[in-house]
Structure 1
């Protein structure tokens, strides 16, 4: 919740919860932009963004919240995971995790990608179980492999990471389709178009 006071966060949280949505993030960005990211089990559309934007705009005017522009959006395909509820909801999905510090559990690295197997541990000592995604680090023919200073975990190994060590985490986008290729277009054109899809809905408004 970058640059956001506790009071503003609680204000947005109550409003979003009251409208039946899940608050993913609140950010203060350059140019007076206040960005609110929402989610819901059935997904977020433009009408949902408009509904929340209208409610927040009225509320901010009453409460005297300082901002220039309000942007309400869905989290997109690479949705950030914030609290334990997020991780529990997306068990089975592949995620990217950034740790605060290097961890011996993942070969002395700070970044790791893997499938979220489960959450384990008592309250306050929760741990993520990740089945690591095999890395494409094999040397090509004719090239000498370089030994890493620190041992890499075995492919498909399951490791445990303390939730308190997680700095940030995001879903790895799942694109299980290929758009139909128009006549005369190349396969490269289709790939570029697919990579540009964010999968998110967004609505911006200026303060009046």
Structure 2
């Protein structure tokens, strides 16, 4: 079973969502988790302890494990992320330009039928989910 499959199978049972994970060339593994209401240090410790035992049993090879929250500028990767954060300010980078533009900063108006509607500079743009290269929440203070 791949690391992705292990995390997708394990984290929801613990009450967490897998936001992202990365395995660096030096063997360090970073796992970003979230849950309604946010993630505390205790949440990170509990998940880290659980995954350490799981990875040992499943013979997952890594040097160091880090578990953390995704932060205020959380990446949006799945369709459900865009649906969850309707009304929030986001930065979006697209693969193919839309009207000559590849980077957008605006509020999510809607996400339906694999299309993101974004409001920016008193305009709206519709972005196909398949054209989104990167997207992150933009913290508002």
In 2, the alpha carbon distance for the partners of 1:43 and 1:60 equals 25
Name which one, 1 or 2, has greater alpha-carbon Rg. Answer: 1
Structure 1 length-normalised TM: 0.66
Give CA deviations for 1:53-111 in whole Å, capped at 9, x if unaligned. Answer: 0010001111111100000000101000010111111000010001112122xxx1211
Query: How many residues get paired?
Result: 141
Q: Are 2:59 and 1:71 aligned? A: no
In 2, the alpha carbon distance for the partners of 1:95 and 1:12 equals 26
Query: 1:42 Cα shift?
Result: 1.1
Runs of 4+ aligned residues of structure 1 deviating over 2 Å after TM superposition are: none
Q: Which structure is richer in relative contact order (CA contacts within 8 A, separation 6 or more)?
A: 1
Q: Which runs of structure 2 are paired with 1:193-208 in the superposition (5 Å)? A: none
Per residue, is there more strand in 1 or in 2?
A: 2
- List runs of 5+ in structure 1 lacking aligned partners: 1-5, 133-154, 176-208
Q: Root-mean-square deviation (CA), in Å?
A: 1.1
Q: Partner residue of 1:116?
A: 108
- List runs of 5+ in structure 2 lacking aligned partners: none
Query: 1:120 Cα shift?
Result: 2.4
Structure 2 length-normalised TM: 0.96
| 8 A Cα contact 1:77 1:174, kept in partner | no
Q: Which runs of structure 2 are paired with 1:115-194 in the superposition (5 Å)? A: 115-121=107-113, 126-132=114-120, 155-175=121-141
Q: Which runs of structure 2 are paired with 1:77-96 in the superposition (5 Å)? A: 77-96=72-91
Give CA deviations for 1:23-56 in whole Å, capped at 9, x if unaligned. Answer: 1001012421100000011110000001100010
Q: Partner residue of 1:19?
A: 14
